Amino acid sequence: MAFDAVFVGAGINSLAGAALLSKAGWNVCVLERSDEPGGCIKTSSDLTVPGFTHELLASWHPLWIGSAAYAELKDDLDARGVEYLNTDLPTGSALPDGSSVFLTTSLDENMAELERHAPGDGGAWQAMFESFMQNADLSFGILGTELWSPAGIGLGRQALRRFGRRGLLAYTGTMLSTCRDWLGDTFESDAAHGLLAPWVLHTGLGPDQATSGFMTQVIACALQLGGMPVPKGGGVRLVEGLAGIVRDAGGELRLGAEVERVLVSGGQAQGVRLMGGETIKAERAVVASVTPTQLYGNLLGASETPADLQRAAGRYRYGRGAMQIHIAMSEPPDWYGDDRLARTAIVHLTPGLDGVSRAVNEAERGLLPAEATIVCGQPLAVDPSRAPDGSWIVWIQLQELPAGRIKGDAASELDIGDGSWTEKLREAYADRITARVGRHIRNLESATIQRVALSPPDITALNVNLVDGDIYGGSCALDQNLLFRPLPQAPGHRTPVENLWHIGASTHPGPGLGAGSGYLVYKELTRASLPRRALARVPRVGQRLQQSVARRL
């Protein structure tokens, strides 16, 4: 059977792209190797005990609600019963001394909260927010534009007209700053640093990496603007809604359909071959939501890609590992300290900026951090329907674990054995984490009904794109980010094979549930202003320029 477009993988980028193309009149097929769609959106009603709805991986949807894809699909999703709930208390941090600090959806409240911790920090927050919003079209535009394309060149020209040459250099310099430098230059209080620094982990970076200051500002402003929305009943509702748009338009979503090879003839993608031999033709596009390692190492043959690109894909770096811990509680949490903690969607348990930096450094040296940054999510603070009345769910994410083999324990407490994640080591490390959470939630131990921990290998088993438990699809260091994502040899979403497109967290604008890459490819595929070959010239020139820059770095 032939389709206009065939998508490999059924994550958020594929589902959104397929839904948008379906609305544009394309006949679309989405192929997923596992037995359920959604990619990193995995909702389970039986992970701990019946009646508790857990999100195994991704749980929070602010990027999706603010995305261009959602703006175009909202009416269709509303018609299919996808309802979003939100909160005015998206995040806060609980610090070791028992104090806490919060970020709300109100500018005035945020100014008052930060001023409470240090005179002048409230005004600094206002100045930061207003300055950011003056150029929000550029800042968000960078993350929502195909950079090596006419649109990307247009964005650069817009910035040049606005700032002038010197101003543009200064603006670019601020984009490259680290989270540590930006926080130190902007806020006086350690509390403000402890509130914002953990959020850089959600971008796949650490607080001492280039661009982490810019990304922290993006998230901070986005949280004030958009809160922390979740779909009522779980992320599966969004997945079902997107799949419904595809199917209602006559398209297909096939599960348990693993793609073995992208079929190429005359330098052009013609379709795919499944494990078992079945062939599915694609008349206009094959769109692969995979890692560069999979695309250039497995799905394409050596004769179909340049040798330097295959070598570069083989060297593609993956980031730190992650762990998830899911706890079902018989009653709501009794937090020590500020009563707002029980109403906050995501509470970071952290010793502050230096603590985040230290844990990242330990993980990148192959150590289990002694004091990890704990992302303590509380889905019922936003959506009470996810558990029986009077009960609670704690969703814990750890983003500072070694990639691959463990070399040691920074606290010198745990026996790491041969460095692999055994069940014993997984549970021992989860014990360390929940003991720390218990120092902030008085009734955590007594109210826990069941706990389930997922180690980095468990996470990889859930999604093949999450190599060694890297939930961000590859390191987001500068040489693999923005203009350079996924690879200098193949930037953006076009590939050397005509009609073959690359999307997913490994591609620009990177990880998250914003469906950015799926939307960008949808726009490219439905753009009719110029012939494809003419449009291809700008990215190719950009690729050569980018490769030249990369060699000089």
Domain membership of residue 86 (yes or no) is no
For the chain, the domain total comes to: 3
CATH of the domain at 400: 3.90.660
Mean predicted lDDT score pLDDT of the chain: 93
* Residue 413 confidence (pLDDT): 97
Q: How far is CA 180 from each of CA 221, 257, 349, 551, rounded to the nearest angstrom?
A: 17, 45, 18, 28
* Residue 303 confidence (pLDDT): 84
Residues 210 and 246 in one domain: no
Domain membership of residue 481 (yes or no) is yes
Residues 332 and 459 in one domain: yes
What are the beta bridge partners of residue 30? 7, 253
pLDDT in tens, 275-333: 999 999 999 999 999 999 999 999 998 888 889 999 999 999 999 999 999 999 999 99
Residues 264 and 302 in one domain: yes
Model confidence at 528, pLDDT cuts 50, 70, 90, reads: low
pLDDT at 550 > cutoff 60: no
Q: How far apart are CA 423 and CA 417, in angstroms?
A: 12
Residues 113 and 169 in one domain: yes
Read off the pLDDT of each residue in 421-440 and give the average, rounded to a whole number.
98
Residues 38 and 133 in one domain: no
pLDDT in tens, 383-401: 999 999 999 999 999 999 9
Read off the pLDDT of each residue in 118-123 and give the average, rounded to a whole number.
98
Domain membership of residue 27 (yes or no) is yes
Task: State percent of the chain over pLDDT 70.
Answer: 95
Among the candidates 422, 441, 465, a domain finishes at: 465
Residues 383 and 448 in one domain: yes
Residues 459 and 391 in one domain: yes
Read off the pLDDT of each residue in 54-71 and give the average, rounded to a whole number.
96
* Residue 178 confidence (pLDDT): 97
Residues 497 and 532 in one domain: yes
Read off the pLDDT of each residue in 107-130 and give the average, rounded to a whole number.
98
Q: Any residues with CB less than 8 A from the CB of 129 and at least 6 apart, and which?
A: 107, 221, 224
pLDDT in tens, 164-211: 999 988 888 888 999 999 999 999 999 999 999 999 999 999 999 999
Domain membership of residue 103 (yes or no) is no
CB atoms within 10 A of CB 58: 22
Domain membership of residue 387 (yes or no) is yes
Q: How far apart are CA 477 and CA 484, in angstroms?
A: 10
Residues 279 and 214 in one domain: no
Q: How far apart are CA 140 and CA 133, in angstroms?
A: 10
* Residue 302 confidence (pLDDT): 84
Domain membership of residue 406 (yes or no) is yes
Residues 378 and 265 in one domain: no
Q: Any residues with CB less than 8 A from the CB of 168 and at least 6 apart, and which?
A: 159, 160
Stated pTM of the model: 0.92
The most distant pair of C-alpha atoms in the chain lies apart, rounded to whole Å, by 68
pLDDT at 553 > cutoff 60: no
Domain membership of residue 181 (yes or no) is yes
Residues 302 and 262 in one domain: yes
Domain extent, residue 407, equals 320-465
Task: With beta carbons less than 8 A apart as the criterion, state whether 280 and 31 touch.
Answer: yes
CATH of the domain at 514: 3.50.50.60
pLDDT in tens, 230-289: 999 999 999 999 999 999 999 999 999 999 999 999 999 999 999 999 999 999 999 999
Read off the pLDDT of each residue in 350-357 and give the average, rounded to a whole number.
97
Q: How far is CA 402 from each of CA 364, 407, 411, 466, rounded to the nearest angstrom?
A: 6, 8, 14, 14
Domain membership of residue 72 (yes or no) is no
Higher pLDDT, 550 or 122: 122
Residues 271 and 310 in one domain: yes
* Residue 538 confidence (pLDDT): 45
